[in-house]
Structure formats: C-alpha cells, structure tokens
Amino acid sequence: MLKHPIGVIFDWDGVIIDSHNQHELSWQRLANEHEKNLPNNFFKETFGMRNESIIPKFFNNWIDTKDDTQIKILADRKEEIYREIITQNGIAPLKGVKELLTSLKSQNIRCSIGSSTPRKNIKTVINIIGLSNYFDAITAAEDVSNGKPDPEVFLKASKKIGIAPENCIVFEDAHVGIQAALAAEMKVIAVATTHKIDQLGKAHRAVESLEKVKIGELYKLFE
C-alpha cells in the first residue's frame, strides 16, 4: 500500500464531457452574427487551442487582432453562445465518468479539474450533469497564463488539492495535455475520445473510456 496520498486531475472536454459539436456550432453561430465565413479547416486546425490564440491567428479580417479588448469581446461572445447551446440542449457526461468519480470519492481520493476551459463553461455544465460535489477544486482558463503543453494548469490544480505533483494522476485526451502532465512529472492516463488509442503512446496508460479504469490500477502506476 502506498505511504502517500494520491490525487486525480481531470481535463474537462474530451474526458468528462465531449462538447466538440457544441463548440463547432458556437463558432459557426458567431460567424453568422458577423456575416463572415470561417476559414477552411478551421475546426481541425484550432482543436485544443485557447480562444486568445485562435482569434489573432484566424480572425484578422473580422477585428483588429492587435486590440486585446476586441479579442476578449469576441472570445467572450463565442463562449456565451456555447453556454446558450448547452443550456438549451443539455449534455451528458461520458461513459464511466460518474462511476469513477463515485469510486474515487468513496476512497477519499482528492479530485480536481485542470482545464483551459473558461470557468463559466465548466460551472454551467457541471451543474447540468450533476457532478459538482465530486471535485475538490477547479483550475480553469482564468487561473493560468500559459496554455498546454505548459504544465502550469496541472501544477496549480495539484497545489489546490494539496497533493504533490509526482503523486498525481492526470486524465487527458489531447496530445498537448499529455505533454503538459508529463512536464509536471505526473502520471498520465490517456482517454481515446479524440485520438485513436494507438496514437496515445506517450501516456503511462491509454484506455478507450473511463469505464475501463479501476481504483486499484491507479495505485499500480506508482509501484
């Protein structure tokens, strides 16, 4: 048995929920509001990027992309549309999420969210899916200066739950997130939501879904 407590940090989109389609729709509605067209391959090229990086790169014919205020207004509106879509249509957690969180809670294992998603988005969704009582802390976009693959979000998440980084396990679906967790010297379990399982080799373990995860297997990562 381990002599030290462990902590578990979850990325949000692609791990707890999958709202890829809702994000696509929110960008499209934003474009419609501005009577503009989205660039070719927009969704593929921007996957996993923060709005503050997307807008200056792809929307220089919409706004003055050197103006941080205009960037923030556009980014905030996009996320407002996203929350409207989620609130109107609802969303469900991915398979195995609630069962794993219930098991972790029963073992008094501290859990945190570590995501570049805006806090309002997380709060909106977490209330809809009824999982707010399962997390001890949230580290969101507003809490960090550097996006993944920088490890900042995971280091702050571990600090919030009082568990040393080397004793934390991160669940991630994106390559940049896996890189960030490894840079933080944490254990990583990759979830094959976004990428095929054979493309997630840098993680300590890869699973098709959280249904495949058992508590005992988490402790084995530290042996």
Q: Where are the domains of the chain?
A: 7-18+93-220, 20-89
pLDDT score recorded for residue 1: 56
7-18+93-220: CATH topology is Rossmann fold (3.40.50)
Give the largest Cα separation in the chain, rounded: 60
Give the tens place of pLDDT for each residue, 17-57.
Answer: 999 999 999 999 999 999 999 988 898 888 767 888 899 99
Which 3 state secondary structure label does DSSP give 202? Answer: coil
Task: Collect the ranges in the chain with pLDDT lower than 70.
Answer: 1-2, 48
- What is the average pLDDT value for the chain, to the nearest integer? 94
Structure-block tokens of residue 148:
């993944």
DSSP character string of 49-105: --HHHHHHHH-TTTS-TT-HHHHHHHHHHHHHHHHHHHHHH---PPTTHHHHHHHHH
- The pTM score is 0.92
pLDDT score recorded for residue 201: 81
Structure-block tokens of residue 78:
């996009």
**What's the Rg (C-alpha) of the chain?**
18
pLDDT score recorded for residue 44: 80
d(CA 126, CA 133): 9
